[in-house]
Structures are given as structure tokens and as C-alpha cells.
Structure 1
Amino acid sequence: MKSIYRAFFVKNLMTFLLPMLIPIIVLGALSTYLIHQHIKEEINHNHMDLLKQTEENMELMLNELDSLNLQIVASATQFVHLRTMMTKRWLDHNDFVELAALKNFIDSPAIARSYIDSIYIYIENDRHRFLTSTTGGLMELGDFYDRSWYESFVSHPDKEQVWTEARTIEKVFDRYSPKPTHLITMYRKISVAADNDGVIVLNINTDYIKNYLASLSSMKGQQVLIVDKNNDVLFSDDKIDLGRDVIQQIVSQRSSFFPLDLGDKSFIISKLPSDKYGWTFISITPKDALYEVPTRLSMVALQLLGVSIVIGMLLAYYLTQKNYADVKAIITTLHSAENGKALPPLPSRVKNVYSYIIHRILQNFMEHNYVKVQLSERKYKAQAMEFAALQSQLNPHFLFNTLETINWKAISMTGRPNELNHMVENLADILRYSLDDQNKMVILQKELIYTESYLKIQKVRYRDKFDVIWAYDDEVKKYHVMKLILQPILENCLYHGIKENERCLIKIKIRTTPAFLHISVIDNGIGIKPEKLAEIRERLESNVDQTRHIGLHNTHKRLKLTYGEPYRLAMRSKYGWGTAVHLSIPID
């Protein structure tokens, strides 16, 4: 009874849960997937737009370096004179006038562009003087607080015309309070008196760029950074601390949009390489910030799923209790009827399917039980009689022994084998075939051998009034068939086919399809009249035992009992033209 209770509970649980769970799961998963894909496309599109905008703005800022270079080229004479002034010990009035004009050349962009910290112009000279926008004019390198740019200029090879590096300098506003300042310095070599004999140094305020990059972040936790060709971070808002190895891993990725796991956190990376300065613009966004909506949707779906499961279990428990009580009442009624005990009273009214079942059981149980016993008994007897009739139509043992005696007697009377001996031997072979092999299934090759023995006997009987044509491939011989399936068909063929004054032609055709072995026996004899053919077909399909036409009828019954529904027998005939019998046997 516990198993019945569990079965009812599982069935009722599935009945209530599946209609609720399937829509929730399908809609939840589908909506999450679609939103996820939409967000992914939007993120990629928005981040690439953001990086392109950043690239354009940065190039616009750095174009100041190109503008300065063009002005130097256009004012070559003035800058040649500047080189001369850098080598003089003392400057005269004209030098100061011209120096003021040149200083205004670099002061204007430094003052106008808030992101420019300072601009230096250096042309090789023995005194290591350079023009700077931070002081009144020329400065000597040894007297200035920023000297690391000169080392970078000297150490870079001539072929590298433009490069960038991050620097930290200490600006001295007074003697006791130096202030560290973070800069991104752009270098561009210039040629004044000789090739690459000077450099323009553009110092960009890192804090300004950081604030600018921070203002571009449109999502919580998003970071925008710029790295140079050496994978050094030039600009960053410092929200996420990335090592050099991580930067190198990001830059080396072929894809411009990909996920990246850092420790226990996942990020979505977008990057845009820039060929002009060899920089790479990178956007890094926490994955949980991007997929906040799908995550919330998934949580809502899970909550609905949990509520549905609880409701389904409560309903299933209630119905299981009710159904179990009804089934228990039915089983009690059945046991009472089987044991001869008093049955409970009929229900006053039918409330559900279970009370209807109890009502019908109480009305019909005894009659049904009696009919069932009688039917089983009759079915058993009929089946036993049928098999006995099929297997015991004729006991050939006595005939076989008698034929052996006749065979030897015929030889002793004539002194040598004769036609009678051949007939007796063929008949004995057929009887031995039916007796020796207790297994009713044989290969088709064996069945064909003993069928030929049968035909030899019939040729003597009918004085060679028929010929046989065999049509089959050797590979069909390997299939298993029941014994003696061809003999009854050929007997029927000879009985209905031999003409009085003409020879008859019989064709035995065997072929296979993927699932069946097809055997056809066709003759051009006298054929069967329509009414007689209908009678034979009716007898073949009848379940009544036949006293006539035992061979064909029994063969049909044996094949039907062995192969079941897949087996088919078709019999066609036209009076005056001939008869055809077709068997379709499932291949073993």
C-alpha cells in the first residue's frame, strides 16, 4: 500500500507541478537568454562608441604636439636663432624680444589648454638650455626641477620620432614644499640645424585625464584606461588595480569584446587599438553590474519556481490522501468478495470515478469472476486441442519403417535398383526430414533439397506433365524458415494446376527485402474458379479445424502462430490462366 501511496503522490505532484513549472522555466530561461544577448550587443556597441570617443578626444589633445612641430617647421629661421641664443653667455635686447615671441609660441597652448601642464622645446646646445612655458624664458637643465625628460630624449634612438611615457616630478613652488606631480609626457623629435637635434616635450596633467576618463564611465565600477605599446598604463581612473601581466593578456587578445576572470570576480573587456601613437584604449566593467537585470529576473523566476513547488506539493498531498482512501475502499471490497465476506452497501450516489468503480464492482464482480474463469478454461482447452491437431495429424513413424521394408523388398525382387526404389527413397527422405529434425526451424537450403525430393515423386505420379523453374539467389539459402512450407503449396498447385492434355509450368521464385523473405509459387495450369477461390481463402482464415485441405491450411496456421501479424499469405488465381501463392515471412 505504501508503494500505491507513493505512486499517487508522484502522479499528483507531476500533474500540478509540470503545468506550472514548464512555463516558468521556459519563459524565465528564454527571457534571461534574450535579455543577456541584447545586453551583450548593447554593451559591445556602447563601449566601442565610448572608446572611439575617448580616442578622438585624446588625439585632439595630442594634436597640439603636431601643431607645435608644424609651427617650428614654418618658423625655422627663428628656431635656428633660438639655438644660437641657447649657446650665448649673455642675451642682448633683440634676443629678449625674439625670445619673448618664441615663448609666447608655447605659452599660448599651455595656458589655453587646461590639460597641458607645461611645454618644453630643447635644441642641442653646450649649456643644456631649453625653452619652457613654466618660467620666464630659457632655463638651464641643472637649475630646473624637471630633468628626467632629457634623459629619455638622449636615450631614445633616432628612428623613434614620437614616444610617450608616464613620469612623476616634484614641482618646487618654494624651498620647503615640493609637490609630486604625475604627468604623461609626449616627445616629438625636431630637426633645426641637424637631423633630430631637438625635441618638443608636451607634459599632460594626469589628474585631468583621470577625471575625464572617470566622467566617461556609464556603469557602476566601470574603468577606462589607456596603455602604450609597451603595455604600460598611461591613464587610468584607478578603480581596479591591474598588473602588467593582466594588461598584457588583455592587449594580446584578438577579440575586441571578451570576458575576463580576475580572482573571484568576472569582468567584461572592450578594447580599441590606435595606430597613431600605438596606444590601446580599454574599458573594464564588472560582469555583475552589466547583467544586473537578467540576474534579478532569474531570482524572480527561482522564487516563483519555489512557490510553485510548495503549492504543488500541498495540492498533491491533499489529493493523494483522498485518492488513497478511495483506492483502499476498492481493494477492501475486492478482498471481501474474493473471501466470501459481506460486501459494503452500495454508495448512495456516485460522486467521483472511484465511487463509480466501487458501484460497478459490487454489481458485476461475481458475474465477471465466473465468466473470467470459464473463458480461461475454454481458451486453454482450445489452444491445447489446436496444437495437438497441428502436431498429430499423422504419425509417420510407422510409414517410414514400412517404406524401408518395401525399398529392400523391391531391390530383392528385381535384383537391382529401379524406379520404385527411387520413389521410395525420395519418400523416405521426406519422412526422415520431418522426423529427425525436432527443431521446426531450418535453413532454406535444407527445405529446398527435400522439396526437390517431393517434386521427383510427383513427376513420376503425373508422368512428367509439369516442369519446375527455380528463381533465387544463393544468398537466400542462409535464412531460416519452418519445415515443410513449400510442399503443401506445391501440392495445392499440382491439384489445381495440372491440365489434362497439356504440360504445366511451375515457377518457384524466392527473393528478399530488408525485412521479409518473399516466396512465390506460380503456375500456368487450369486455375481456380472464383467461388472455389473464395471458399479456400475463407477456410484459410477460419479458426475451425479442417478435415480436408489439411496441408495448406495447417501450413498457414503454423506460419501464423510462429510469425504472428507480420506474416502474410496471398493467393490469386484466374480460371484458365493459372494460380499464384505468395508468402511474406519476416527475416530472422
Structure 2
Amino acid sequence: MRKRNFIKRFLYYTGIITLPIITVFMIFLAAIVYGKQKDIEAEAIKSAQAVRDSYSLVLDSAATQYDMLVRNPRMSISLRNFIFHKQLGYMDVILTNSIFSNFASLTSNASYISSVYYYLDGYDSILTSYTGGIAQLSQFSDLNWMVSYKTSDKSEWIEKRNMTLYSYSRPTPVLTYYRKLSMFQGVILVNIYEEQLKQLLNSGSNLDQFFIIDSQGNFLLQGNGNMQELGDHDREAIVSMVMASSDQPYQDWISFNHQNYYVRIIPAACGTYIAACISKSNYYLALYTLLFQFLMVLAVVMCTMVWIAYTITKKNFQQIDYFVTVFSNAERGTYNQEKPSFIKDEYDIILNNIVRLFVNQTFLKNQLTLKKQEQKLAEMAALQLQINPHFLFNTLQTLDFKAIEFTGEPTSLNNIIEALSDILKYSLQNTTSMVTIRDEVEYLKKYDSIQRYRYEDKYILYYDYDKAVESYPIMRLILQPLIENSLYHGIKPLPGSGFIKLKIAEKNQWLTITVIDTGVGMSKEEVAALNEKINHPSQENIGLANVNSRLVMQYGNTSQLKILSKKYMGTCISFKIPQNRIVNCKK
């Protein structure tokens, strides 16, 4: 019972306190999640624009070389004469040196630019910033760009390739910017270091990864981000998004490597596209921390609820135990005036005073009633041997009338006198004569009604039998001693109330009568001692021994009392009457 009460209180207080906390937290968490998602989208747009601005700056630096040569025809002619190995005039030398100086300044100031090539169709020479002059094609190692230049019909494009400056050196990954000349048949190439370009574009960006993709779906550059290497399927998904953008910004949530990313695609220079990717998990790290903190708070709240439920349950059962003890002591005639230890506040004091007042009044009433009953019984016992029963009945009737005369209406005293009169009349008749079960039960009910005034709600007496058995004959005063034994020795010692059940049933040619109580019960040793007293009665006879002797004399040994009991659970006393003896008695 304590455990069940503790669980109910724990669930009750937990529901009151934790449910509002969880509800508010879930609303707060939903608002944060929505806000974080918007932050991810805004950050993707801002970071994609930053990458495109840096990327455009790099391409602008490369395009400057073209503008410098194409927009100045005199410089283009001087450069062509230099490549043709023609005799140069003074102005041609100045312009050519200016071009070489500009190439050197570009590669030294822009660390991401590897080199600049100037090539005219039909000639076996190429102008490079490496040599600061002309190099023969037959002696130049980096010529894999020539295929793309010869086969492309574009005027401007970017290509990813490996640049090999010397036959003995390792290839260097670069992005090559191609721009065909408009005045002559030729091309300007600007080679951009891939690694330096990644570092430049990554700076100032909070992206997990970005990609530069051309219009054919070729991946030109992949940033140094936190995203794992993409598989073919993931690359195809990005390419399909690029094709769906139609030169307009495009964004959507997509899953890469079992992780959600917000992808923003925007068009860039030279027919390329920038795909900016931000992972949802990076932004949700703060949410994980918040969730952990909430769980810690919830754990503290749950521990507090356990402590509150335990404290209240302990206090309530201390009160219950105390009140049960007070009531039990009052019934036994003792009253403890000590203040209980659980009283902590004014509510406990008020409740304790009310209970003590009620117990005190009940105790005094019981004492007064008991003394009156004892006095009446003593007077009746003294007069029984010398007063005629009819005179006793008349006297009780006179007392009944006088009580009504003083009070003006029937009281509990009248009820007691009436029941006592009936009991006396019933018991003073011939005890050897047979009565019906109905008469015996009616007598028992009058006995019960008197006991109610003394014990009030201490016990409840049940009757369980069919109407058909009420006419069966039975020995007089055979049931009352069994009920009295259950009440005095079983129910009365209990700290609380108990139940007594009288059951009468016909089965297998026997009429079985059983009295069951939920009293203190007996151990095996106590049951054995009681059977010994019943079967071998002494001069100090007990009620059960009297009943057992009468049953054996009337019906035989098969009808003697049977006693079953278990400590702290109750006792069952029964006997059975052969049905043929019942029929004979009825005849």
C-alpha cells in the first residue's frame, strides 16, 4: 500500500511540474529549430555570394591581361613582332618590356596565379611569364592545353588540368583561364593554382563545402571543407540541381553521405556555377547542448519529485499509524497524551487535536456504556437465581417505558433493553430444545446489535445462506459462541476493523456451518493447543469446548468443530450436520 501510494503521488506531482516544463521546452525548441533553419539558409546565401565575389576577383585579375593586350593595338603588334623575331623599334621594346613587367607583377602580387601564356596560331613560339620571354614549343613541357584550345569553339572558358612545367617535375593541379584573341588568331592563358584558390575562396566563409562546376557538369574545384568525398550519385544530384537552375539562383535541402545539407547554387563568370553547402548538424550543435542541459534539469526535477513523494507518503503513513494506534489504545482503555513526532505545522496540530478530541469523547462514552452494561449484567446475574423470569421481563419493559418517559423518544438505551429482553427470553428457555436456523440467526442479530453499540465499526458481520435452509432445525445457542469467539479473539486485537462471515450451505448430504473471520489468526502451535482444550475440556471450560461437546453428543464425532487458521490472516471454524439427522428432527 505504501509503494502504491508513493507511485501515485510521484506520478501526480511529476505530471503537475514536468508536463508544463516539457511543453514550454518543446515550443521553445521548435522555435529555435525553425530559426536555425532560417539561419542556415541565410548563411548559405551570404557565403555563396562571398565565394562568388572572391572567384570573380580572381577571374578579373586574369581577364586584365587580355584587356591590356587587346585594347591596345600597338602593344599587340609589338608583341607579335617580338614573337616573329622581327627587328623591334624603340617603342616596340618599351611596350614589350611593359608586358613582361606586368606579367611578373601579376604572378608576384597574386600568389594564386601560377603563370600567363600568350600564344599566336601558326608559330612555334610561346610567350610565358615563367621565362619572362619566348619559349620554343618543341622545348616547352606544358602543352596539354593545346587540345582544349584547338577543339573549343568558345571565346572564353575555364578548364581544370595538370600543369607540367618541366619534364622531370610533378604535375601541378591548376585551373586554366582561356581567352581567345580578337585581333589575331591566338589565345591568352592564365594558370591559377588550385590549392591557393581554395584557400582564397574558403576565407570568410562558413560553408562546409563548395564546388565550382562548369555548364557541362564538370567539377572544376572542390573546397577544403568538412564534407566527406562525394560519390558518383551525390555528384549527379548536384549536377542535376545545376542544370535545373537555368542561370538563376537555386537552393534546396539534399542528403549527402546520410547527412542533410542546404545547397545554394548561383551562376558565376565564364559559364560556371558555384554550389555552396552547409550541414544542418553543425548548426544543431547548440541544440544538442541545450537538450543536454534540459535533460539535466529534468533529471534534477525528477529526483526532487521522488524526494517530495517519499516525504509526503512517509508523513501520511506516520499519521495513519499514529491514529490507528490511538484508536486501538482507546478501545483497550489506554490513552497516550504524548505529542507525535510528525507534527510540523499548524495543519498537523489542528488535525491531531480533532482526532484526540474525538477519541477522548469516544473513550469516555465507551467507558460509561461499559460501566452501565457491567452494572446491569451484575444486577441480572445476582437476581437470576431468585427472581422469576416473568418478573425480570416486566422489569425490563418498565425500564424501557421509563427511558422513553425521560427522553421523550426511543434512544440507544431502549434498543439495548429491547434486544437484551429478547436474548434473556431466548436463552432462559429449554436449551435442549431444537429451534430453526431462522430463529437462531434472529437471536444472533440481536446479539450483534448490542455488540455494535460497544464496538461500532470495529467489525462487519456477513450472513451467507439460502432461504431454503432457514426452516432447518438446529440446536439452540450453537452459533452465538462461535461469533463471540471470532469477535473477542480474532477481530478485537486487530489495530483496525475486520470482517466476520457466517456461511451455511448444503453439500453432499451434509449441512455445513462455517464462521470465518479476518482477525489476528493463530500459529500452528496455538491451533494445536486450542484443539487440545476443546477435545479435553477442564473445569475452566471455554465456550468453544461447550459447543463442541454439545455437537458430539447430539450428532456424533463427525460433527465436531474443525479449526483452520493462519497467523495475521484469520481463522475459520466449521462443523457439519448429517442431512438425515436434519430430516429426522423435522419429522
Q: Taking structure 1 as the reference length, what is the TM-score of the superposition?
A: 0.50
Question: Is 1:237 equivalent to 2:230 in the alignment?
Answer: no
* Pair 346,332 (structure 1): closer, same or farther in 2 beyond 3 Å: closer
- Is contact 1:225-1:235 (8 Å) kept? yes
Shift of 1:300: 0.9
Residue 102 to residue 152, structure 1, CA distance change in 2 (3 Å): same
Of residues 61, 71, 75 in structure 2, which corresponds to 1:74? 71
The 1:70/1:14 distance shift into structure 2, 3 A limit, reads same
Write out aligned runs for 1:235-274 (5 A): 235-237=222-224, 239-243=226-230, 244-250=232-238, 252-253=240-241, 259-263=253-257, 266=259, 268-274=261-267
- The structural deviation recorded for 1:62 is 0.8
**In structure 1, what is the equivalent of residue 161 of structure 2?**
167
Q: Distance in 2 between matches of 1:235 and 1:191?
A: 32
The 3 A distance-change label for structure 1 pair 101 and 33 is: same
Are 2:228 and 2:257, in contact at CA under 8 Å, matched by a contact in 1?
A: no
Query: How many Å separate the matches in 1 of 2:240 and 2:313?
Result: 63
Q: Which residue of the partner structure matches residue 126 of structure 2?
A: 130
> Which of 144, 156, 166 is residue 140 of structure 2 equivalent to?
144
Specify the code of the residue in structure 2 equivalent to 1:236. G
1:440 paired residue number: none
1:32 aligned onto 2:14: no
Give CA-to-partner distance per residue, 1:262-318, whole Å, 9 cap, x none.
446x35434241243333334444444322222211111101111211221132123
Matched, 1:9 2:6: yes
Confirm or deny: 8 A CA contact 2:209 2:227 kept in the other structure: yes
C-alpha distance in 1, partners of 2:269/2:333?
Answer: 100
Distance 1:343 1:273 in 2: 97
- 1:318-357 matches, within 5 Å, as 318-324=311-317, 326-327=319-320, 351=348
2:51 corresponds in structure 1 to 54
Shift of 1:361: 7.9
Equivalent position of 1:475 in the other structure? none
Structure 2 Cα separation of the partners of residues 128 and 267 of structure 1 = 53
Match of 1:289 in 2: 282
Residues 52 and 272 in structure 1, CA contact (< 8 A), matched pair in contact too: no
Aligned-partner Cα distance in 1 for 2:101–2:65: 12
- Aligned pair partner of 1:298 in 287, 291, 300: 291
Of 212, 221, 225, 1:226 maps to 212
Q: Secondary structure at the match of 1:212?
A: helix
The 2-side partners of 1:311 and 1:17 are apart by 9
* Structure 1 position 115, deviation (Å): 2.3
What's the offset of the Cα at 1:204?
1.1
Q: 1:186 is matched by which residue type in structure 2?
A: Y
TM-score by length of 2: 0.50
- Contact conserved, 1:209 with 1:235, CA < 8 A, in 2? no
RMSD value, Cα = 4.2
| Mapped contact 1:213–1:225 kept (Cα < 8 A) | no
Q: 1:183 and 2:174 equivalent?
A: yes
8 Å CA contact 1:231, 1:248 repeated in 2? no
Gaps of 5+ in 1: 372-588
Sequence identity, in percent? Answer: 22
* 1:516-567 residue CA offsets vs partner (Å, 9 max, x unmatched): xxxxxxxxxxxxxxxxxxxxxxxxxxxxxxxxxxxxxxxxxxxxxxxxxxxx
Please state whether the residue corresponding to 2:269 is helix, strand or coil. coil
Shift of 1:49: 2.3
Structure 1 contact 231–247 (Cα < 8 Å) conserved? no
Partner deviation per Cα, 1:12-40 (whole Å, 9 max, x = no partner): 21343234323532443344334444443
Structure 1 match to 2:301: 308
**Aligned with residue 317 of structure 1, among 293, 310, 316:** 310
Q: Deviations over 1:111-131 (max 9, x none)?
A: 443322111122211x44322
Task: Compare 342-351 and 100-109 and name the one that shifted more.
Answer: 342-351
Q: Which runs of 5+ in 2 are unaligned?
A: 340-346, 367-410, 413-587
